[in-house]
A and B are shown apart, each in its own frame.
Chain A
Amino acid sequence: MSSRLRLLLACLASAVIVVPLGWMWWSSLLPDTYSVVDMGYVDLGSGPAPAGAPGHNAMDSRATSIRTLRADPARPADVRVDLVARRETFELASGRRVDGYTLNGGSPGPTIRAQQGDQVEVRLDNANVPDGITLHWHGIDVPNSMDGVAGVTQDAILAGDSFTYRYVADQVGTYWYHSHQLSHEQVRRGLLGAVVVVPKNADPEILDVPALVHLYDGLRTVNGEEGDVSVDAAPGSIARVRVINTDNGPMTVWVSGSGYRILAVDGTDVNEATPVKGKGTLVTAGGRADIEIVVPDGGARVELGGSTALLLGPGASELPADTAPTGVVDLLTYGSPAPLGFDPKTATRRFEYVVGRRPGFHDGRPGLWWTVNGHMFPDVPMFTVAEGDVVRMRIENNSGDVHPMHLHGHHAVVLRRDGVPATGSPWWVDSLNVRDGESYDVAFVADNPGIWMDHCHNLPHAAEGLVAHLMYAGFTTPFMIGGTAANHPE
Chain B
Amino acid sequence: MKSVYKVLAFLIAAEVAIQAAMMAFAVAGLGIWVDKEGGVLDKATFESEPDFTGAVGFMVHGINGMMVIPLLALVFLIVSFFAKVPGGVKWAALVLLAVVVQVALGIYGHENAVFGMLHGLNALILFSLAFMAGKRVTSVTPDRHVVAERELV
Contacts and interface: CB of A to CB of B under 8 A. Distances in A.
B47 A366 contact: no
B48 interface: yes
A367 B67 contact: yes
Interface string A238-260: 00000001011111100000000
Interface in B84-125: 84, 107, 110-111
B44 A305 contact: yes
B77 interface: yes
Contact of A306 (B40, B81, B82, B84): B40
Interface majority SS (helix, strand, loop, mixed), chain A = mixed
A307 B44 contact: no
Contact of A366 (B46, B52, B70): B70
Interface residues on B, range: 20 to 34
Given A9-B81, A366-B70, A368-B66, A217 B44 contact: no
Nearest to A227: B38
Contacts of B48: 188, 215, 218, 247-249
A218 B52 contact: yes
B81 A13 contact: yes
Nearest to A458: B47
Contacts of A18: 78
A349 interface: no
B81 A307 contact: no
Nearest to B52: A218
A218 B55 CA distance: 11
A449 B137 CA distance: 67
Contacts of A24: none
B85 to A, nearest CB: 12
Contacts of A252: 42
A217 B77 CA distance: 41
A249 B45 contact: yes
Nearest to A248: B47
B51 to A, nearest CB: 5
Contacts, number: 87
Nearest to B43: A249
B42 A305 contact: yes
A245 B42 CA distance: 13
B40 to A, nearest CB: 4
Given A10-B81, A218-B52, A250 B43 contact: yes
Most B C-beta atoms less than 10 A away, residue of A14, A217, A368: A14
Interface residues on A, range: 35 or more
B31 interface: no
Interface string A189-229: 00000000000000000000000000101111000000000
Given A10-B82, A14-B78, A14-B81, A215 B45 contact: yes
B67 A218 contact: no
Interface in A1-59: 6-7, 9-11, 13-14, 17-18, 21
A183 B82 CA distance: 47
Most A C-beta atoms less than 10 A away, residue of B38, B43, B48, B51: B43
A460 to B, nearest CB: 7
Contacts of A436: 111
A400 interface: yes
Contacts of A7: 82
Contacts of B70: 366
A17 B80 CA distance: 13
A220 B40 contact: yes
Nearest to B78: A14
Contacts of A218: 39, 45, 48-52, 55
A215 B40 CA distance: 11
Nearest to A188: B48
A25 B39 CA distance: 40
B89 to A, nearest CB: 8
Nearest to A247: B44
B74 interface: yes
A402 interface: yes
A302 to B, nearest CB: 15
Given A10-B81, A10-B82, A218-B51, A305 B66 contact: no
Contact of B40 (A17, A285, A307): A307
A248 B82 CA distance: 47
A6 B77 CA distance: 15
A252 B45 CA distance: 12
Contacts of B81: 9-11, 13-14
B44 A366 contact: no
A220 B50 CA distance: 10
Given A217-B50, A402-B43, 15 more contacts: A14-B78, A14-B81, A215-B44, A218-B45, A218-B49, A219-B50, A220-B45, A248-B47, A252-B42, A285-B47, A305-B42, A305-B44, A306-B40, A368-B107, A436-B111
Interface of B: 38-40, 42-52, 55, 66-67, 70-71, 74, 77-78, 81-82, 84, 107, 110-111
20 contacts: A10-B81, A13-B78, A14-B78, A215-B45, A215-B48, A215-B50, A217-B51, A218-B49, A245-B44, A248-B47, A248-B48, A249-B43, A249-B48, A250-B44, A285-B47, A305-B42, A305-B45, A307-B38, A366-B66, A366-B70
6 A-B pairs with least C-beta separation = A218-B50, A249-B43, A10-B81, A307-B40, A248-B47, A249-B47
